[in-house]
Amino acid sequence: MPKVGMEPLRRQQLIDATLSSISEHGLQNTTIVTISRIAGMSSGIISHYFGGKRELIEATVSYLLEQLLQSFLERITQENPAPQIRLHLIVESNFTEFQRSVLATKTWLSFWAKAMHDPAMARLQSINSKRLYSNLLFSFRELLEPEAAANAAKQTAAMIDGFWLRSALSDNPEQEFIAAELLCKTFINDVIKQERFNASNQI
């Protein structure tokens, strides 16, 4: 009889093994065998907890998405932080040590490629994109006029995704990720400053 509380532990171990397998073998060559070998479990355990490889891959991507959300929530140290601070926290949550790790970057890159052809993965990507845009828009709306806020949210989301991708594919990802985070924050500050300047000149 399985021990109480064993299921969450086993599920996480299999997700961690999937991240490792994708990092080592790529998504295409990741199989039930490679995952179970890394996890040190029988292949039947995967079927028991997830149903199969496809469901486990989706659970792994969902785990990455959850880590993005949790890292943002953990950075909010006070209720209702200032909008500009909240925007910086959103940036930071996308460039955490975990999101910059080889395990995460290789899985994200594999996921994005597969999302172009897989409806289930495309749905998860859509959730990810909409969540980022929505969070950015919420904060920008407290600082800018509606149209300017929407434009700023779209531009910032594109910068975060674009700089993250360029950093992940660079020869020196660690330094590039650090620079990317700073550039995104600087962009946010500059947009807010420029819009406030424009608004003051219209009075």
C-alpha angle 38/43/48, rounded to 5°? 120
Over range 126-140, report the average pLDDT: 96
**20: pLDDT strictly greater than 90:** yes
- The stretches of the chain forming alpha helices (DSSP H) are 6-25, 32-39, 43-49, 53-75, 83-94, 97-100, 102-115, 119-140, 146-168, 173-201
pTM of the entire structure?
Answer: 0.89
14 assigned to some structural domain = no
39 assigned to some structural domain = no
Domain that holds residue 176: 58-201
Confidence (pLDDT) at 5: 66
Residue 136 near residue 157 (C-beta atoms within 8 A):
yes
**Local confidence band at 26 (pLDDT 50, 70, 90 cut-offs):** very high
195 assigned to some structural domain = yes
C-alpha angle 178/70/177, rounded to 5°? 10
Count of structural domains, the chain: 1
Confidence (pLDDT) at 98: 95
Confidence (pLDDT) at 1: 42
What is the rounded distance in angstroms from the CA atom of residue 128 to the CA atom of residue 131? 5
Confidence (pLDDT) at 3: 57
Over range 30-40, report the average pLDDT: 94
36 assigned to some structural domain = no
Confidence (pLDDT) at 203: 58
111 assigned to some structural domain = yes
Over range 21-29, report the average pLDDT: 93
pLDDT digits (tens, 9 = 90+) for 95-108: 999 999 999 999 99
159 assigned to some structural domain = yes
98 assigned to some structural domain = yes
Instruction: Give the contacts of 151 (CB within 8 A, at least 6 positions apart).
Output: none
CA dihedral angle for residue 26, residue 27, residue 32, residue 36, rounded to 10 degrees: 50
CATH of the domain at 125: 1.10.357.10
4 assigned to some structural domain = no
**2: pLDDT strictly greater than 80:** no
What is the rounded distance in angstroms from the CA atom of residue 104 to the CA atom of residue 16? 10
**Local confidence band at 7 (pLDDT 50, 70, 90 cut-offs):** confident
What's the DSSP call for residue 2?
Answer: P
